[in-house]
Chain A
């Protein structure tokens, strides 16, 4: 064989080898299933990638997706409870695993992740999600929700009877109604578009809190910030006793108390206003902020 031909042959063979060698560690397609009772429990672990959970009306779990390089799937359990997830093979280059998980709509679902994006829909059971930096999105009719992310965003459109959303720097958005809701951020902005809340607690240190919605009769809502501003929008006809402690407060276009100042020389002032028709069962809405400014409007 001429030298040139031999070289080309070797070169081509090498190129083919180099091209196809990574496939041995490439993303693997995965399809797994386990039986699970309608009220069973499911735990999902996936550090990197995406986790999409969809409720369905079968007594089983179906997992489809791809496992990232450097990872492998583990899993097991029985009809009462199943646990599965992606774990690293010891390689430092664990790449994204993308999982779509169909679960019985009323099973208990528990998810832990470092940075995976989590999306839950068409689901009607209790939900418990925690992530370091992954974003979380929930839509559907979960009966109770506990979701937290350190710096990922939380976006929830649901009306569970019990709701707890927590972040550190991630923004939180909630649309829905609830009997019992608590939302906490350190610096993340909080946006609440509530239907009716009976008991609510919204806390942030320096994140802005925006609340729009109605309050159930005899309801109690409290907003606390250190320096985050608070914006409130009440619907016309709302009956509520509004109680504000802030550096400055503007209610319905009328400034009350001192203007917002950069340096605060003395403790917050108190403002008290009754909206709508006062009655012994007027819900109470309490806002306390050490340095923040409160603005309330009726829409």
Chain B
């Protein structure tokens, strides 16, 4: 089908010129931005809840909100120990960073570590400093108990922490050179999360034996 064969050439040209002359911008409703911002904020808060619940399930906390009252670990008075405090701190931190650092829609309990495209470098530094702090607490606790740890656990921990720390150092250096690169920031966050998760799992496993 050929427009030029069917339509009058002049009329077609006039139509196309008139279309081109239409305004390319139309001012939106003044209230639109507020509504958009509210919806985005609401999405962030809604995402926090399933992450917090999923992370809490993976720690030795009896979650009253769960339908099952199953306790994942033998009942101990670990809440009073620094070990328990470090675990709670790590879990809460990972939940809090979901608020501070909005994530893409993903798998609950294992969300993509996507920092928002507009997270300021200073804010990122704060987030990563908190990761460092939480990891240091857990690592110090494990180090104190090293003589009691299963030998296989010690070997794996040492090897994997070395791998993780190298990856973190690598991406930190890259992020310094490209502070606005959301991909690198996201990958750095993933590495931190993996480190925290490894330390948390090692702590919980060591509690079982």
Closest residue on chain B to residue A179 by CB atoms: B107
Residues of A within 8 Å of B113, CB to CB, are 224
CB-based contact B209/A164 at 8 Å: no
Q: Which residues A211-236 have CB closer than 8 A to chain B?
A: 220, 222, 224, 226-227
Counted as pairs of residues, one from A and one from B, with CB atoms less than 8 Å apart, the total is 134
Docked complex Cα distance between A240 and B87 (Å) = 39
Selected contact of A130 from candidates B191, B198, B205, CB within 8 Å? B205
CB-based contact A205/B191 at 8 Å: yes
Selected contact of A151 from candidates B156, B170, B197, CB within 8 Å? B156
Closest residue on chain A to residue B208 by CB atoms: A112
Q: Chain B's interface: helix, strand, loop or mixed, by majority?
A: helix
How many residues of A are counted as interface, with CB atoms below 8 angstroms from the partner's CB atoms? 49
Stretch in contact with the other chain, from A57-65, A180-188, A251-259: A180-188
Q: Which residues B186-202 have CB closer than 8 A to chain A?
A: 186-187, 190-191, 194, 197-198, 201-202
Selected contact of B160 from candidates A108, A164, A181, A186, CB within 8 Å? A186
Knowing A182-B110, A226-B167, A290-B184 touch, does A168 contact B68 (C-beta < 8 A)? Answer: no
How many residues of B are counted as interface, with CB atoms below 8 angstroms from the partner's CB atoms? 46
CB-based contact A220/B183 at 8 Å: no
Any chain A CB within 8 A of the CB of B119?
Answer: no
CB-based contact B198/A186 at 8 Å: yes
Docked complex Cα distance between A110 and B44 (Å) = 33
Residues of B within 8 Å of A290, CB to CB, are 167, 170-171, 174, 184, 187
CB-based contact B194/A184 at 8 Å: yes
Not counting A169-B156, A203-B190, a sample of 17 additional A-B residue pairs whose C-beta atoms are within 8 angstroms of each other reads A114-B152, A132-B205, A133-B150, A164-B109, A168-B157, A168-B198, A169-B159, A181-B107, A187-B160, A201-B112, A205-B194, A206-B167, A220-B104, A245-B183, A267-B174, A288-B183, A290-B174
Can you name 23 A-B pairs with beta carbons within 8 Å? A81-B70, A112-B208, A131-B205, A132-B150, A132-B205, A150-B156, A151-B152, A180-B107, A182-B107, A182-B109, A186-B160, A186-B194, A187-B159, A205-B164, A205-B194, A206-B167, A222-B104, A222-B112, A224-B112, A226-B170, A226-B171, A226-B191, A267-B184
